[in-house]
Structure 1
Amino acid sequence: MSYERFASIYDELMSDAPYDNWVEYTKSEISKAGLQSPKILDLGCGTGSMLLQFAKHDLYAVGVDLSDEMLMMAKQKLEKHSIKPELFQQDMSELDLGQMFNCIVIYCDSLNYLQDEERVRQTFKQAYSHLEEGGLLLFDVHSIFKIDELFIGQTFAYDGIENAYIWNSFEGEYPHSVVHELTFFAWNENKQAYDRFEEEHYQRTFSISQYIQWGKEAGFTSMEVSSDFKNCPPSEESERLFFSFKK
C-alpha cells in the first residue's frame, strides 16, 4: 500500500483524533509502572502527531514507521516546532534499532494493519527485546465488535474545504477483518481542480484472549486491558481496546 497521496491529507482527516487522551493514558501507565525519565518508542508514528504531543508534555520519543512519505511529513512537522526528531523507516514486526526503551507504544489501531497472525506475534517479540526490564508495551486495537458491526457493510463520507472522500468498508478475507476502499478528491497543487485517487486499507483484529496469549509467548508477565480511553474493563460493545504489557 502506498501512502504517497494519503500522507498528504492524513492530518486533515485525523484533525479530531483524541491525541490528548493517548498522552494521558501513556502518562498514567508510566506513572503506575514507576518509570523514571521515560524513553518512548512510537511504532507506526505516521506523520508524527503523537510524537509532537509527547514533546509538548516533555516526553522524549523516537518514531518508527513503514512509510517514507509519512516519515517525511513527520520530520517537517516536528522541525516546524524546533524539534529534531529521531525517525526510522522499519516494519514494526522486524524492529531492529539497537536501542533500548522503557516504553513502547503502538497507537491509533496501527497494529490492526498487520493482517498476518505471525507478524503480530513477531511485533510483540521485537518490542519485548527492545524494552528494559520493567518497561511497558502499550497499544490499542479495534475490537471485534467494531470491525464486525460498525465497519463491515458501512459507508462513510467526509467533505472538507480542500479534501473529500467516500469510504466503503467490506468484509475481509480473514475472520474479523475489513477492507476499507477510499476514494479521495483533493485540490491539486494549482488549486484549480480536484484530483481523484483511490486507496485500499486492510485491517484485522483478534480476541482479547489471543492478544494476551501472544503477549505471554513474547515473555510479558503482567497484562492489563481497558477500553475506550476509560479505566474500566471492556464490554461487549467496547470499540477500542487498550493493552498494557509489562516486561
Structure 2
Amino acid sequence: MSYEQLAYVYDHLMADAPYDDWLRYLTKVTESYQAPGNRVLDLGCGTGELSIRLLKQGFDVTGVDVSEDMLAVSAEKADKEGVALPLFQQDMSKLEGLPEFDIATVFCDSLNYLSTPEEVQNTFRHVHRHLAPNGLFLFDVHSTYQMESVFLNQTFTWNEEEVAYIWSSFPGEEPHSIEHDLTFFLLDGESGQYERVEEFHQQRTYPVHDFVDWLHEAGFDVLSVTADFSDNPPGETSRRIFFTCRKK
C-alpha cells in the first residue's frame, strides 16, 4: 500500500498520537532488559516523528518504511531539525542489506498492515537476522478486541480549515481484519479550493498466542507481553498489545 498524499497530512492527523509514550516505553524496556547498544532500527518509521525523538535522546537511529512519500517527509523533517537520519525504502517483510542493530522497533501498529501470517513471520525472521546477539525487538499491534469491538462499522470524522476527513471502518475478509475507507478534503493554499483524496487501507491482527509462537519460531525469547503502555498483561478489553523480545 502507498500512503500517497496522506503522507503529507499524516502528522496533522496524528497530532494526538502518543509518541512520547512510545519513547518512554522504549527507554524503560531497553534499560530494564539491557540492550547491547543504542543502534535502533525503526521499521514503519512513517514521517520520522518517533525516529527524531529517539535521535534527540542519544540513540543512533535508522528508519525504514515502504512508502516513498512518508520517507520524503521524514527526510525533510530531519533536515529541519538538524539531525542525521539514514532512511531506506523497504518492505519490512523483505528486509535485507542493512547493518546490525541493537534494537528493532515496529510501533504505531505498523505490523498490522501486513496482510498475511507469512508476511508477519518473514518480518520476524528478517528482524532477527539484523539484530546483534541479545538484541531487543519491540513492537505493538492492535488487539483482536480493538479490531472487532472498537473499529468495526465505525465512522470517524475530523473537520478543520485546512483538512477534513471521513474515516469509515468495515469488516475485512480475513479473521480479525478491518478495511478503512478514507476520504480527505485538503485545502489548496494557492487556489483556496479543496482537493478530494481517497485512500483504502487494510489492517489485520492475530491472537497473542499466534504472535508468541511465530516469535519463538523466528528465534526470539518473549520477555514480556503487556497492554496499553502499562506493565499489565493483556485483558479482554485491551486495545494495544506490546511485545518485548530478545534475540536468542
TM-score range, shorter chain: over 0.9
Extract unaligned runs of 5+ from structure 1. none
Helix, strand or coil for the counterpart of 1:183?
strand
| Paired position in structure 2 for 1:237 | 237
Q: Distance in 1 between matches of 2:203 and 2:245?
A: 22
Letter matched to residue 10 of structure 1 = Y
Aligned to 2:68: 68
Instruction: Give distance in 2, aligned partners of 1:122 and 1:92.
Output: 8
- Could you tell me how far apart the structure 2 residues matched to 1:176 and 1:142 are? 10
Q: How many residues align?
A: 247
> Hey, what's the Cα distance between the residues in 2 that align with 1:9 and 1:182?
13
Alpha-carbon deviation of 1:124? 0.2
Given that residues 153 and 171 in structure 1 are in contact (C-alpha distance below 8 angstroms), is that contact kept between their aligned partners in structure 2?
A: yes
Aligned to 1:170: 170
Percent identity for Structure 1 against Structure 2? 44
2:77 corresponds to: 77
Q: C-alpha distance in 1, partners of 2:228/2:155?
A: 22
1:85, CA displacement in angstroms?
1.3
Alignment of 1:168-207 (within 5 A): 168-207=168-207
CA distance, structure 2, for counterparts of residue 37 and residue 127 of structure 1:
16
Q: Is the 1:138–1:242 contact (alpha carbons within 8 Å) kept by the matching residues of 2?
A: yes
Match status 1:115 vs 2:115? yes
Counterpart residue number, 2:130: 130
Structure 2 unaligned residues grouped into runs of 5+: none
Alpha-carbon separation, structure 2, partners of 1:35 and 1:2: 33
Structure 2: distance between partners of 1:6 and 1:222: 34
1:102 aligned onto 2:106 = no
Distance 1:118 1:4 in 2: 26
Deviation track 1:40-85 (CA, whole Å, cap 9, x = no partner) reads: 0000001100111112212221000001100000000011011121
> SS state of the match for residue 5, structure 1?
helix
More displaced 10-residue stretch of structure 1: 28-37 or 104-113: 28-37
Shift of 1:226: 0.3
Segments of 4+ moved more than 6 angstroms: none
Does structure 1 conserve the Cα–Cα contact (< 8 Å) formed by 2:161 and 2:187? no
Q: Per-residue deviation at 1:97?
A: 2.8
Q: Is the 8 A contact 1:225 1:244 kept in 2?
A: yes
| Pair 1:2–1:36, CA change in 2 (3 A) | closer
Q: Distance in 1 between matches of 2:191 and 2:227?
A: 42
Give deviations 1:158-196, integer Å, cap 9, x for gaps: 112300100110000100000000000001241511100
RMSD across aligned positions (CA): 1.0
Q: Helix, strand or coil for the counterpart of 2:9?
A: helix
- 1:184-231: CA deviations, max 9, x gaps? 000124151110010011000000000000000001123310010011
For residue 21 of structure 1, what is the aligned residue in structure 2? 21
Q: Displacement of 1:38 after TM fit?
A: 1.1
**1:22-37 pair list within 5 angstroms:** 22-37=22-37
Residue aligning to 1:140: 140
CA contact (8 A) 1:212 1:223 kept: no
**Matching residue of 1:41:** 41
> If the length of structure 1 is used for normalisation, what is the TM-score?
0.98
Q: Which moved more, 1:62-71 or 1:191-200?
A: 191-200
The answer to whether the 8 Å contact 1:179/1:201 transfers is yes
Stretch moving more, 185-194 or 108-117: 185-194
The superposition leaves residues 91-150 of structure 1 with CA deviations (integer Å, 9 ceiling, x where unpaired) of 000001330001000000000000111000000000000011111110000000000000
Residue type of the alignment partner of 2:20: D
Cα distance in 2 between the residues matched to 1:20 and 1:137 = 19
Give the Cα separation in 2 of the matches to 1:172 and 1:101. 35
In structure 2, give the amino acid aligned to 1:116.
Answer: T
